[in-house]
Structure 1
């Protein structure tokens, strides 16, 4: 073991594998170990450069230590330096150990290879981004782009072709989770502002997981009596809701209610009749709901939206109670 400070330990693992960290690995401890103990790493680089290896082999000053995954002894960063050492006939090499798991080791390899030394090819960067998306689907496009060294638009395109399940929230470079769907963040902000109109923009933005600019826009829209969600988002929201409805089996609501109304056990009891009256409530089709929503006065929008959510929550709780009773009967 050398006395010279090294590169990386488990304590600094988070600073180099989290997408929102821009810090470099901190100095700690290096080790002189036998080259024969090392194994090829899971490198984001598909090909080595012979010219780069020969150039490194000719360097007379000590090269930086290579990074090795302690658990597997696989090289994370420094393959060219390792081959150059072998070419010179060296039997040992200076290393710094990394104590994360194998996925973190790959992310670190991508980050380091993107930041220094021989640049990764665009194909290597895209392939690496695809793997990082699979490992960390909750990381934002910008976070992954910062690690891999490509644009966030390229990451977004790769994500669309990925099999990774889209998360509800993503971890941004600021270290905070943000709603994947900005519509949800705007709605959260509108609820917070309805409860506390004097709340600061920064407080609303932080609580709703949106930017201060978006929170300011929501406040302005509410003061003008407008919908907190801009019109351009409505088509996307409608598409998501249509997809959700398509996944559920189609039920003829009126037919079900009519069948229940003819059931004597419900018709001839007070609780049964109360339940039927509530079940026979508004069952408007989507077009009718849209018409109702468009004609709500601006100053009533938030109050009605809140009441609608409360009604939905009441029915959800009632459904859970009924489901639990059904399970008990079975």
Structure 2
């Protein structure tokens, strides 16, 4: 903290559309106890937080005031000004906060609605509405950065898919944990988890009112259906105490969990294998596939034997 001359400080670029409140300035000027230091952007000498205190100091006839400098960009200084003035002292009006949020949307279009809402003390729905109104002037981004610093897809379907993957990888996760990781609402996350537990895709079906003839799923859709069917089986197995609480059962679950990789993930792995090892890895993959094929045949034979012993048809196997 340092003492700075009043006439060296400027108060333009304030988030307050109507400027300082004269009544609030007079009230501060009457305070007997010392006021907190004001925050000033070091590069521009603009007051970030404390314009009313500065005016009160001038009203008292002071020549200097206690200052705490902020080192950062002008855009960062404005963000700090909005956040500081939105929730303490004389709060910003709703119009001030809306205008500030709109400016932040334009300067930081990659930020999520929740992140901007946290700065401007608004609801995410309000920020989303402001963003839609100014959509024509904004770049169309596929991802946004959330409060936790993670980038997430703007596409709701993509976020539902990511939430589904998180549910499968963390079956005991709370709804809030899943929502935090995917950027979805709690209600949407609950729907995703219920779909996963029912063995269906987390993606919503086509909601158009027009009827259409049934179509064969695309390769990507077929892969998604198969992968989630497999994931549902794994989730059920992991909840069975006869597997979860025995050494052999835990070993089996680890094997299945490790090998339950969708083909698109295998594509990513294949692309990253060094060229001089692709032949050896291909041979190892074939050996692993042969081992799993042999295990599948033995399991199917056992399923038939058990069914015959019980006098009913064998259970369906997962292809």
TM-score of the two chains, using structure 1 as the length reference: 0.57
Task: Give per-residue Cα distances to partners, 1:70-105, cap 9 Å, x unaligned.
Answer: 011111111111111111111101110000100010
Give the secondary-structure state (helix, strand or coil) at the position aligned to 1:129.
Answer: helix
Report deviation, 1:153: 1.4
1:147 equivalent in alignment to 2:119:
yes
Task: Report how far residue 150 of structure 1 moved.
Answer: 2.1
Tell me, yes or no, if structure 1 residue 61 matches structure 2 residue 33: yes
How many equivalent pairs are there? 225
**Aligned residues of 2:57 and 2:65 also touching (Cα < 8 A):** yes
1:217-270: CA deviation from partner (whole Å, max 9, x where unpaired): 545424534332123xx459xxxxxxxxxxxxxxxxxxxxxxxxxxxxxxxxxx
Q: Quick check: 2:199–2:228 contact (8 Å CA) kept in 1?
A: no
**Secondary structure, counterpart of 1:184 in structure 2:** helix
Contact 1:190 1:219 in 2 (8 A): yes
- Whole-Å separation in 1 of the counterparts to 2:144 and 2:204: 22
Asked if structure 1 preserves the Cα contact closer than 8 Å seen for 2:160 and 2:182, the reply is no
Alignment of 1:116-135 (within 5 A): 116-135=88-107
Gaps of 5+ in 1: 1-29, 237-286, 312-330
1:198 and 1:137 mapped to 2: Cα distance? 31
Residue 292 of structure 1 corresponds to which residue in structure 2?
216
In structure 2, the partner of 1:250 is none
1:143-182 superposed matches below 5 A: 143-162=115-134, 163-182=137-156
Shift of 1:120: 1.4
Alpha-carbon distance between aligned partners in 2 of 1:293 and 1:86, rounded to the nearest angstrom: 73
Match of 2:225 among 291, 301, 324: 301
Superposed displacement of residue 38, structure 1: 1.0
Q: CA RMSD in A?
A: 3.8
User: Equivalent of 1:209, from 177, 182, 188?
Assistant: 182
* 8 Å Cα contact 2:39/2:68 also seen in 1: yes
Pair 1:201–1:131, CA change in 2 (3 A): farther
Q: Distance in 2 between matches of 1:304 and 1:45?
A: 52
Report the secondary structure of 1:292's partner residue: coil
**8 Å Cα contact 2:195/2:201 also seen in 1:** yes
RCO higher in 1 or 2 (8 Å CA, sep ≥ 6)? 1
Counterpart residue number, 1:230: 204
Q: Name 2:288's counterpart in structure 1.
A: none
Matches within 5 A, 1:51-90: 51-90=23-62
Asked whether the equivalents of residues 15 and 100 of structure 2 are also in contact (C-alpha less than 8 Å), the reply is: yes
Decide whether aligned partners of structure 1 residues 105 and 40 sit closer, same or farther in structure 2, where only a CA change above 3 A counts. Answer: same
Q: How far apart, in 1, do the equivalents of 2:224 and 2:44 lie?
A: 62
Note the C-alpha offset of 1:122.
1.5
The separation in 1 between residues aligned to 2:169 and 2:79, in whole angstroms, is 43
Deviation at residue 34 of structure 1 after TM alignment: 0.8
CA-to-partner distance for each residue in 1:31-62, whole Å, 9 max, x for gaps?
A: 10111111223110022211111111122221
Change (3 A) 1:184 1:55: same
When residues 89 and 100 of structure 1 are mapped into structure 2, their CA distance, relative to the original with a 3 A threshold, is same
Q: Pick one of 4, 11, 14 that aligns with 1:40.
A: 11
Q: 1:67: Cα distance to partner?
A: 0.7
In the other structure, the counterpart of 2:257 is none
Write the distance in 2 (CA, Å) between the matches of 1:297 and 1:113: 49
- Is the CA contact 2:146–2:183 (under 8 Å) kept in the aligned structure 1? no
Tell me the equivalent position of 1:265. none
- Do structure 1's residue 108 and structure 2's residue 80 form an aligned pair? yes
CA distance in 1, matches of 2:224, 2:92: 56
SS in 1 for 2:215: helix
In 1: Cα distance, 2:79 partner to 2:217 partner:
47
